[in-house]
Amino acid sequence: MIVLAAFLTSLSSVGQIILVIALGYFLRRRGKFDDSFKGSISFLIMNIALPLSIFVSVLDNLTRDKLLGLSSGLIYVLISFITGYLVAWVLTKVLRVKAGRRGTFINMFVNANTIFVGLPLNIALFGNVSLPYFLIYYVANTVSTWAIGVFFISNDDPTKHGKGQDSSKFNWKKLLPAPLVGFLIALIWLLLGLPLPQFFDKTFSMVGGIVTPMSLIYIGIILADAGLKSIHFDRDTIFALLGRFVVAPAIMIVIMMIFKNMGQGIPNIEQNTLIIQTATPGLAVLPILVGQSHGDVEYATNVVTTSTVLFVVVVPILMQIVRFI
């Protein structure tokens, strides 16, 4: 029954994603979206909707007590993320992943689509009792994406490789991207115990709610421009998918086993939640981030799309594996 629930939940999540991507694809193919629309979506999501979405999500899902209670579980996730970044970075050198793809490649090993896919899956599999452990992964994933992952992408701008840079000009926007600012403000707001008026809460939630559908429409537009034949499994895509579905869960499993052997008591529901979350698909906003840094958007779109589809198959398998840990 657990395996069936995992399959049906992941199938439902993926089905919704594919339908919205298809909407963007067909509207672009029919000429309803002009060339400037991609840039408009990118600006709206990255500078307005996503910061507000993160701000509201933190205030809705966390309290000061919950935040303090996440400390022990965060250790496991942070170790797995650091290990994932190191493994991915080494592989970019070994495989000689070309500029414009490296940031995407590295992010696929670590950062995931936790809210839109991970949250409903976790509740369906483990119930609301698993939410505190999901929040551990959510907080770490958010910080990792906007404090570290985004820099691997921005520093992978192929238009800058081989060109001299003016080191005297420091770009504060890269140090503090808008989504990270939204997260930091939310943490300060939370720690100070400030109330958020209902009017602003509803407004921010409404605007923030466009992030996932608009990101998926963006992916559909990219697919329409590149053609469906652009969905393929080249070497870089295969290794990125292995990183997402094999390496990341394997790292977390090893960490769980090490801490258990050291006498650390880890509840099964915490262990299973953290392991399952490592295998959720790539970030829906990844192609937008890559596009802003002049990277290989088609590659980013390819790995996000393929990881989303394969996710249906991976989760039931992973559910069987965690039963033996």
Taking only the tens place, the pLDDT of each residue in 169-209 is 445 555 577 888 898 899 999 999 999 999 999 999 999 99
Q: What is the pLDDT of residue 163?
A: 53
Per the structure block, which two tokens stand in for 207? 């605007």
Instruction: Compute φ and ψ for 107, nearest 5 degrees.
Output: -65, -30
Rounded to whole angstroms, how far apart are CA atoms 59 and 195?
9
Q: What is the pLDDT of residue 114?
A: 83
Provide CB contacts within 8 A for 188, sequence distance 6+.
none
Q: Evaluate whether 255 touches 80 at the Cβ level (below 8 Å).
A: yes
Q: Evaluate whether 124 touches 318 at the Cβ level (below 8 Å).
A: no
Q: What is the pLDDT of residue 168?
A: 40
Long-range CB pairs of 212-216, under 8 A, 24+ apart, other chains included:
212/20, 212/115, 212/116, 212/284, 213/20, 214/41, 214/44, 214/45, 214/49, 215/41, 215/45, 215/284, 215/285, 215/287, 215/288, 216/17, 216/20, 216/21, 216/24, 216/284
Q: Evaluate whether 233 touches 263 at the Cβ level (below 8 Å).
A: no
DSSP assigned state of 163: S
Q: Sorting pLDDT into bands at 50, 70 and 90, what band is 1?
A: low
Give me the helix-helix angle, 71-94 and 248-261, nearest 10°: 130
CATH tag, 2-158+174-322: 1.20.1530
How confident is the model over 242-264, as pLDDT tens digits?
A: 999 999 999 999 999 999 999 88
How confident is the model over 66-119, as pLDDT tens digits?
A: 777 667 788 999 999 999 999 999 999 999 999 999 999 999 999 998 877 787
Residue 69, classed as helix, strand or coil, is helix
Q: Sorting pLDDT into bands at 50, 70 and 90, what band is 166?
A: very low
In the chain, domain spans = 2-158+174-322
66 Cα distance to chain centroid: 22
Q: Tell me the Ramachandran region of residue 100: left when phi exceeds 0, alpha when psi lies from -120 to 50, beta otherwise.
A: left
Four-residue CA torsion sign, 277, 279, 284, 285 = positive
Rounded to whole angstroms, how far apart are CA atoms 115 and 280?
10
Provide the 10 A C-beta neighbour count for residue 197: 8
Rounded to whole angstroms, how far apart are CA atoms 89 and 12?
33
Q: What is the pLDDT of residue 97?
A: 96
Rounded to whole angstroms, how far apart are CA atoms 105 and 298?
13
